[in-house]
Structure 1
Amino acid sequence: MFAIYQLALATPATMDPDAYRELCWGADLDRTEAGYGLALAADDRSGDMVTAVFEDTDYVRLLMDAHGVKVPADKVSVFLTGWPDLNPQAPTVWP
């Protein structure tokens, strides 16, 4: 299980094109028009920061409006170590 701290959309429409390209490259994700949903989270067991990547951006939009929802593991496409920097002014997106 993991505790979600923040949800975000990483799409060409919500990010600077260079930042989106760098995020996808750093996370080894294909660049798609739909983009991805991200859950910045902590692993309940280790406490490590992880990013849960969702291919279903509509699902992440629903999660943004819900509180205290448990996310089934099969909805997560991949878990990545650490959190990306989604600040548009940041010099790099992925740590």
Structure 2
Amino acid sequence: MKYFYYHWNKSRGDQFDHWGTSDWYFEIGQDGYVSRSIQIYASSNALFYSEQHIEDVYGVLPEGKFELIGEEKEISKSEFECVIDSTKFTNVASTI
């Protein structure tokens, strides 16, 4: 597995646009697909997606192979897990 962090400096452009900018965290499997993703917004709303929770009214687990755009920062598994452990998610009661 590989783990990445990315700051998205734009708002969503949808009904949740008022949440503001967001920090994204990705867990990428050996196959190159996102297996878990986290989105944390300036408003403190946070979303979690995984193969066990693929989609809801707020969004979806990214589809297709993960492609680097050059602005991501690779992080460790422990950093990724720390974000999960310290975040209260808007869309799931607990993570899997």
Query: Quick check: TM above 0.5?
Result: no
TM-score, normalised by the number of residues in structure 1:
0.33
TM value normalised by structure 2: 0.33
